[in-house]
Structure 1
Amino acid sequence: MRSGLLAAGLALATAIGAGSTLDAAAAEPPAPAATTQPEAAGPALTPPARLPWGAVPQQRRGSATTRPAYAPKGRPPSAAAASLAAPAAADPTIHYMYGTGSQTVAVQQAYANFTVAKPTVAQQDFHSLAELAMLSSDGRQIVEVGWTVDRDVNSGDLNPHLFVYRWKDGQGTCYNGCGFVPYGGAATAGMTLPAGTSKQFGIVHNGGAWWIAYDTNWVGHYPDSLWEGRFTVTGQVKFFGEVAAATQQPCTQMGNGLAAEDANAARIGSASYPDSTEPVRLVVRATGGVYSALALSDRTFRYGGPGAC
């Protein structure tokens, strides 16, 4: 059943628009014979000397490759979708639900501490993830980094994996490829992450590219040329958990499976904009009616839940 839903979802991947649930949409349908080689996207670029949280990154270890993957991906939830009850989806086979902290702010750097978890993903559902998304003012250009439990993206593995993703002009691309240039450090898009830990995830615009940071490493970058130089600063920043499900009452867990009211629930904390004097003031909410989100401060919130089963 689930494979049929995935095929239907991918076939409708271009149906992205204002009427879709929470501005969510499936990624583009699979391209033939995705290569494991990094895609050429201009001259080699150099990352900042320090990670967004101020640490000196580990040294580059040589070249790296990633495996692009095509699978459903929800667009970061729209600030306009404030109610718990989501409107009907443009693609009725995929339902996206969120626990989100968001802010309208113009920055070029953002990061937070994320609980890395291993939520149970029901066989008929698609994924459970957590991420940081940097969006243009109109929400159509996006860079994302986070962890995901997704059997399609991760070749059947249900451990959490590091992922990157981007959107151009409101259209999704693919996980861990589609213009992404790996850096060659100890962290690689697609790698397995340690569940039950707290790790820093960040994005920085520097030297003609959006650079992705994880823990003590640069992961790689998306060159500005992928957007023809039109996306170099945010209009919105979002931190969130996301479940992509086959029904509106999924059995899939979000976060670590605990509701936000539980003190041990997954959290996204100490959100920061290192290049800005604008204070972090996240607006925290849950959408979909199944999961929860709870603000602990302007910069930290808990989110998640066991699902509807």
Structure 2
Amino acid sequence: MPFGAFRGHLRTRIGTVGAAAAATVVAAGTVVVLPAGSAQAATCWYGSCFSYVTGRQYTNTTGASVTMEQEAPGGVAADGHSLQELSLQTSSGTASGDTIEIGWSVDPGTNGDYQPHLFVYHWINGQSTCYNGCGFVQVSSTVRAGMALTPGTSGAFALRYYEGNWWAYYNDVAFGYFPGSEWGGSFTSAQIVSAFGEVAADKAPSCTQMGDGVFGSQGTAASSISDYQLMGSADQPKFTVTASDPDSYDYGSVTGTSFTLGGPGVC
């Protein structure tokens, strides 16, 4: 598969490892914050190294939404990326899982520039597809998958299973959907909700920034993920927050529905 798609495949597999570890420390009805030093450092496979700051919840839901700061992180290599996203995944939490994603990315290999762009992505039985296509049905003339976003502003991102399809929303505009037939009608709810920042670089530690380049532990000066909500779930939204590479990227100001995140890398 193309390198960009392979990077994405590794992203989900590495994220699943973090999910499994976090599952052992979640206390029902509480906000759980793992110590920054308790997670692994960046993981490097097949030419790319991945770092994460992740808010995650195990539940059963037909949708979720978050508000995210949209940034233009520096230091992104031509074959790397820095992004923030919301993802919904089936309970298998393995390479055989189904996943849908929405967010913004600075990814020169995909977008041709160093500005943040809106993206959607999906997985079918653990198989990667492609950004902003591969079955995605665009319906809005004002909001389009792949469009450039304005750095320094915030956007509302949501995913929802509705009338047999997985819909993507940006600032309350339902701009398109992945048909449920992509999964043979079997992917109708999600059990893992993740909202996270991610850096992919050719080495670790790297000079790629996450968010606006400010450590999440510095609070309001950093990028943020906030206003987390669930749809069609009996559970209240409660994030568990972890950092895989806390010397380069960390988090702060954690509540059940929000946290700050980011960092400068090592530069």
Residues 73-88 of structure 1 correspond to what in structure 2 (within 5 A)? 78-81=18-21, 83-86=38-41
Q: 1:21 to 1:160 in 2, by over 3 A?
A: closer
- Superposed displacement of residue 200, structure 1: 0.4
2:125 is aligned with 1:169: yes
The runs of 5 or more residues in structure 1 that have no matched partner are: 1-5, 25-74
Structure 1 residue 94 corresponds to structure 2 residue 48? yes
The equivalent of 2:197 in structure 1 is 241
Residue equivalent to 1:13: 6
Distance 1:188 1:22, change over 3 A: closer
Q: Which has the higher contact order (CA 8 A, sep 6+)?
A: 2
Q: Which amino acid aligns with 1:108?
A: T
Equivalents in 1 of 2:11, 2:132: separation in Å?
A: 24
Distance of 1:98 and 1:215 partners within structure 2: 25
* Partner in structure 2 of residue 252 of structure 1: 208
Report whether the alignment pairs 1:298 with 2:238.
no
Which ranges in structure 2 are unaligned for 5 or more consecutive residues? 23-37
Taking structure 1 as reference, are residues 293 and 308 closer, same or farther at Cα in structure 2, changes over 3 Å only?
same
Residues 166-205 of structure 1 mapped to structure 2, 5 A cutoff: 166-205=122-161
Alignment pair present for 1:150 and 2:107: yes
The 1-side partners of 2:260 and 2:77 are apart by 26
SS in 2 for 1:152: helix
Summarize the Cα distance change of 1:246–1:134 in structure 2 as closer, same or farther, 3 Å threshold.
Answer: same
Residues 125 and 197 (structure 1), Cα distance of their counterparts in 2 relative to 1, 3 Å cut: same
In structure 2, do the counterparts of structure 1 residues 79 and 246 end up closer, same or farther at CA, with 3 Å as the change threshold?
same
Alignment correspondent of 1:136:
90
What displacement does 1:288 show?
Answer: 2.7
Question: CA distance change for structure 1 residues 185 and 275 in 2, over 3 Å: closer, same or farther?
Answer: farther
The verdict on how the C-alpha distance between 1:269 and 1:87 changes in structure 2, with shifts beyond 3 A counting, is closer
C-alpha distance in structure 2 between counterparts of 1:199 and 1:143, whole Å: 18
Matched AA of 1:122 = V
> Are the structure 2 counterparts of residues 101 and 222 from structure 1 closer, same or farther at C-alpha, using a change threshold of 3 Å?
same
Count of residue pairs brought into register by the alignment: 247
Match of 1:35 in 2: none
Equivalent of 2:245, from 285, 288, 292?
A: 288
- Runs of 4+ more than 2 Å apart: 12-16, 75-78, 80-89, 121-125, 274-277
Q: How far does residue 227 in structure 1 lie from its aligned partner after superposition?
A: 0.7
Q: Which amino acid aligns with 1:212?
A: A
Identity of aligned residues (%): 36
**Distance (Å, rounded) in 2 between the aligned partners of 1:102 and 1:168:** 21
Q: What is the CA deviation profile of residues 174-197 of structure 1, one whole-angstrom value per residue up to 9, with x for unaligned ones?
A: 100111110123100010111111
Q: Tell whether the 8 Å contact from 1:130 to 1:147 is kept in structure 2 after alignment.
A: yes
| Structural mapping, 1:97-136, within 5 Å | 97-123=51-77, 126-136=80-90
Structure with bigger strand share is 2
Q: Residues 196 and 207 (structure 1 numbering): CA distance in 2 closer, same or farther, change over 3 Å?
A: same
Q: Indicate the structure (1 or 2) with the bigger Cα radius of gyration.
A: 1
Q: Counterpart of 2:182 in 1: which secondary structure?
A: helix
Amino acid paired to 1:110:
A
Residue 13 of structure 2: aligned partner: 23
Q: C-alpha distance in 2, partners of 1:15/1:239?
A: 15
Q: Determine the C-alpha separation between the residues in 2 that align with 1:22 and 1:188.
A: 24
TM-score calculated relative to the size of structure 2:
0.85
Could you say if the C-alpha distance between residues 284 and 15 of structure 1 is closer, same or farther in structure 2, counting changes exceeding 3 Å?
closer
**Structure 1: distance between partners of 2:46 and 2:7:** 14
1:221 to 132, 156, 177: 177
How far apart in 2 are the matches of 1:192 and 1:147? 9
Shift of 1:77: 6.1
Cα distance in 1 for residues equivalent to 2:140 and 2:185: 24
